[in-house]
């Protein structure tokens, strides 16, 4: 659940190169990050941070109305959001200036997409600990750390198979997971013939997580394909 926990974090990207913003946003979305806000100036960056309260800011050093260093100083007036500097400069003085202000990392352009992802993941892991692993649904909360469903004042335990099934679905939040993929996750490399068993597990999970199991809103059947889980971020 580690990546899902991190991918739910809000990111703020500030750069005046619009093509770069589009590319980085596309890379992040392709890798599961959905809560992304972009800005191209110091002023826009401050306004976006005040409105969205991001969990991580990636700031370009050179901006049309100032620089990333002054932007970070303005952010520090109201938030301790971790910061990664992203810049075309690879000079030691700039790196030391950014780190001296308390930045968490520094990436020089051009960069490899995988490097940016790894740096973002590394900073998020250092700053945010997944000690709860709580996934909110419409009528309850999944606590993966304890394999429990919290529903109103009731605590409902999950079986091992139910836990695995929900974990796979939550990792693919809002996306269809095929019947074959779910059967393989539950029963290994030879998943054929387990569809009825999968349906039975789905029914029992719905009884635990849905307000009305006959009209599910969280664990949805996609006819002819599989299932998807709709979480509330």
Same domain, 142 and 199: yes
Q: Quote the pLDDT of residue 89.
A: 60
> Could you write out the DSSP letters of every residue in 54-65?
-SEEEEESEETT
| Helix, strand, or coil (residue 115) | helix
Same domain, 156 and 118: no
First-to-final CA distance of the chain? 14
Whether the link from the prior residue into 110 is cis, omega within 30° of 0, is: yes
Q: Give the pair of three-digit tokens for residue 17.
A: 């190169």
Residue 71 sits in which domain range?
A: 3-129
Same domain, 115 and 192: no
Closest CA to 172 of 222, 206, 112: 222
Question: Please, which contacts does 20-27 make with residues 24 or more away whose CB atoms are closer than 8 Å?
Answer: 20/109, 24/58, 24/116, 27/113, 27/116, 27/117
Q: Quote the pLDDT of residue 94.
A: 57
Same domain, 37 and 85: yes
Of 75, 94, 129, the position where a domain reaches its end is 129
Q: How many domains does the chain have?
A: 2
Same domain, 119 and 142: no
Task: Report the half-sphere exposure of 29 (CA within 13 A, side-chain side).
Answer: 12
Q: Quote the pLDDT of residue 87.
A: 76
Task: Give φ, ψ of 45 to 5 degrees.
Answer: -65, -45
pLDDT tens, the chain, 233 aa long: 457 778 888 999 999 999 999 999 999 999 889 899 999 999 999 999 999 889 999 999 889 999 888 999 999 898 889 999 987 765 655 555 656 667 888 888 888 888 899 899 989 888 876 555 788 999 999 988 788 999 988 999 999 889 889 988 988 888 999 998 898 888 876 767 889 999 999 999 999 999 999 999 999 999 999 999 998 75
Of 111, 129, 147, the position where a domain reaches its end is 129
Q: Quote the pLDDT of residue 1.
A: 46
| C-alpha torsion 213→216→220→222, nearest 10 | 90
Domain of residue 102, CATH code? 3.40.50.2300
Same domain, 161 and 214: yes
Of 86, 109, 129, the position where a domain reaches its end is 129
Same domain, 154 and 124: no
Same domain, 145 and 86: no
Place of tokens 């490899």: 112
Task: Give φ, ψ of 152 to 5 degrees.
Answer: 55, -120
Domain of residue 205, CATH code? 1.10.10.10
Q: How far apart are CA 164 and CA 186, in angstroms?
A: 7
Q: How far apart are CA 4 and CA 48, in angstroms?
A: 24
Same domain, 76 and 182: no
Same domain, 32 and 140: no
Q: Quote the pLDDT of residue 165.
A: 93
Same domain, 9 and 119: yes
Q: Quote the pLDDT of residue 167.
A: 87
Closest CA to 127 of 93, 84, 165, 163: 84
Q: Quote the pLDDT of residue 137.
A: 94
Q: How far apart are CA 209 and CA 218, in angstroms?
A: 8
Same domain, 120 and 198: no
């Amino acid at each position: 659940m580690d990546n899902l926990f991190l991918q739910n974090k809000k990111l703020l990207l500030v750069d005046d190169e619009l093509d770069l913003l589009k590319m980085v946003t596309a890379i992040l979305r392709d890798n599961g990050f959905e809560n992304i806000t972009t800005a191209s100036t110091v002023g826009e960056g401050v306004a976006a941070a005040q409105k969205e309260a991001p969990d991580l800011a990636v700031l370009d050093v050179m901006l049309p109305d100032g620089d990333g260093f002054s932007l970070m100083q303005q952010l520090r007036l109201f938030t301790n959001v971790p910061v990664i500097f992203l810049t075309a400069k690879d000079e030691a003085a700039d790196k030391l200036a950014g780190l001296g202000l308390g930045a968490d990392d520094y990436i020089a352009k051009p960069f490899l997409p995988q490097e940016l992802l790894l740096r973002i993941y590394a900073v998020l892991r250092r700053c945010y600990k997944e000690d709860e692993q709580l996934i909110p649904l419409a009528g309850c909360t999944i606590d993966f750390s304890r394999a429990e469903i919290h529903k109103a004042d009731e605590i409902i335990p999950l079986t091992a198979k139910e836990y695995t099934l929900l974990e796979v679905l939550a990792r693919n939040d809002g996306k269809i997971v095929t019947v074959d993929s779910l059967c393989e996750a539950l029963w290994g490399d030879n998943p054929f013939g387990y569809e009825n068993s999968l349906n039975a597990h789905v029914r029992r999970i719905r009884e635990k997580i849905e307000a009305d199991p006959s009209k599910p809103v969280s664990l949805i059947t996609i006819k002819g394909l599989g299932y998807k889980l709709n979480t509330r971020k």
